[in-house]
Chains A and B, each alone.
Chain A
Amino acid sequence: MGSRNVYLDNAATTPVDPRVLEAMLPYFREEFGNAASRSHKFGWVAEEAVEAARGHVAAVIGAESKEIIWTSGATESNNLAILGAARMYGDKGRHIITSLIEHKAVIDPCKFLQTQGFDVSFLQPNGQGRVSVEQVREAMREDTILVSLMFANNEIGTIHPIGEIGALCHERGILFHTDATQAFGKTPIDVEAMKIDLLSASAHKIYGPKGVGALYVRRKKPRVRLEPVIYGGGHERGMRSGTLNVPGIVGFGEAARIAREEMPQESKRLAALRDRLWAGLSEHLTDIARNGDPEHSLPNIVNISFLYVEGESLMMGFSDIAVSSGSACTSASLEPSYVLKNIGLGDELAHSSIRFSLGRFTTKEDIDYTVDLVVKSVNHLRAMSPLYEMALAGVDLSKVQWQHH
């Protein structure tokens, strides 16, 4: 097999689908109008395109188009949902429930709110990365105003019992926000059936452009109101001011339309490729472990620990395959993944883990090439791993006195 470039980091970002790019292009030059201009046809054309896109994004989650607020991305959506709800309903109560494995765009606004007199409960998921409805129920208090739990985790792909948690929140009159950045357009979501009040999504995870996101804000039963984070011209029902990014929004709309249309077949295709990857690796390698919950998982993410091998050095072995590692060495922080640590993986396994995230343009050949190269790299590194040598000699690594630095 010759060298090829394989992109298996689709949970980080995706390339823009050519159909999406085609849809966007006219809105850069010919139809460049400001969607807020009501007095001429440049504005009307732009507004019409924005509204069509709103409909496509809403359709993915069973919402009404009026319930979609455009943002600059899921980070902004999460900030607006959490800070906006806290500022709007803070006089009703000052307790928020979230989890330890949320994206930083949820954790950090919650931590900020802790400095503003709010009390935040960070729930610990189980070993597969799932928070249960019982845990949420136990954490609820009289003064709880918001529950924010991600739909699916970005590192391990585990899907939370969102419908059950949504029903519980509605029963208690507590707002329910879900960060659906990874799940949107990949797995079925219905804000009505799942009783979701606020939902964050991003275009660039579904073959749309970067810099565009959406926040679903429920309009009835209950009507959710948010204090804005960005003030100005009162765009987006006053919740998010700023001239709309019309080409980006058109791209998001088209990406959402395609994702919704293709989801039934595409999710099956991705799950089959993901299973092929896992089966291929398990066939040729011992001492590997799949992290997450295979029963409740996105079809495109698989996270694997390769025992006795460090993640960054493993990635070096297949530099033409793009993946992510839970190892500290890939980040500036020198701390291994907090998500893997918080599902109880232990630092040494977190250092040995790789996330493979498949996408629309991943082929069977890509997977076979990946299996081949990963197997070679793991064997190359195990041959020089003192841990592997000790394990083969029957040493219990957990009982060794290591010399910590």
Chain B
Amino acid sequence: MSYSNKVIDHYQNPRNVGSLDQGDARVGTGIVGAPECGDVMKLQIKVDDEGRITDAKFKTFGCGSAIASSSLATEWVKGRTLDEAEELRNTDIVKELALPPVKIHCSVLAEDAIRAAIADVRKKQEARVASAAASSPS
């Protein structure tokens, strides 16, 4: 199988590799996939007070297309609000990276990772709001 130049570029120069502090209330973490299936993606986002994504990091175990999909996903979510990031579709990734049909699952995984990270940070924010409300004098 031959790879598109964009996949090769993301593989050789992955953007935003790394990890954010999972304990930080502003950080959302999504881990999707399983080692037995040959793909595990960890995607993390950090949001500011306005709910805008200021930073994103990934680590991926998987084929070149999986690495490229998650690398691209981190690039795309940065600077977006959570609502905007939620609108990203795997088909956009397929198009941008020219993924062949057999690699579409890599883009689906990246979309799932974004959604999981968004859900995680929202849950943390709701918990923060709830605890703030609980601790404030009535």
Contact = CB atoms under 8 A, between A and B. Distances in A.
Interface of A: 308-310, 312-313, 316-317, 327-330, 332, 334, 336, 346-348, 351, 383-389, 397, 402-405
Contacts of A346: 36
Interface in B1-45: 1, 3, 8, 11, 14, 17, 19, 31-42
A309 B61 contact: yes
B60 to A, nearest CB: 6
B37 A405 contact: yes
Contacts, number: 89
Nearest to B103: A329
Contacts of A329: 38, 63
A316 B64 contact: yes
B105 interface: yes
Given A384-B17, A389-B59, A312 B102 contact: no
B102 A334 contact: yes
B40 A384 contact: no
Interface residues of B, number: 34
A386 B61 contact: yes
For the residues of B in contact with A, the DSSP-based class is mixed
Nearest to A334: B102
B105 A405 contact: yes
B62 interface: yes
7 contacts: A317-B11, A329-B38, A347-B36, A347-B37, A384-B17, A386-B40, A389-B42
B53 interface: no
Given A310-B63, A347-B37, A405-B108, 7 more contacts: A310-B61, A310-B62, A327-B38, A327-B63, A384-B60, A385-B61, A386-B61
A351 B38 contact: yes
A404 B14 CA distance: 25
A309 B109 CA distance: 17
Interface string B57-71: 011111110110000
Contact of B35 (A328, A348, A383): A348
Contact of B63 (A313, A348, A384, A385): A313
Which of B32, B40, B109 is most buried by chain A, counting CB atoms within 10 A of its CB? B40
A402 B42 CA distance: 12
Nearest to A404: B34
Contacts of A386: 31, 40-42, 59-61
B17 to A, nearest CB: 5
Contact of A313 (B31, B32, B33, B62): B62
9 A-B pairs closest in CB distance? A402-B34, A348-B35, A347-B36, A386-B59, A386-B42, A312-B63, A351-B38, A329-B63, A316-B64
Contacts of B41: 386
Given A328-B38, A336-B38, A386-B41, A308 B61 contact: yes
B109 to A, nearest CB: 7
A402 to B, nearest CB: 3
Contact of B60 (A316, A385, A402, A405): A385
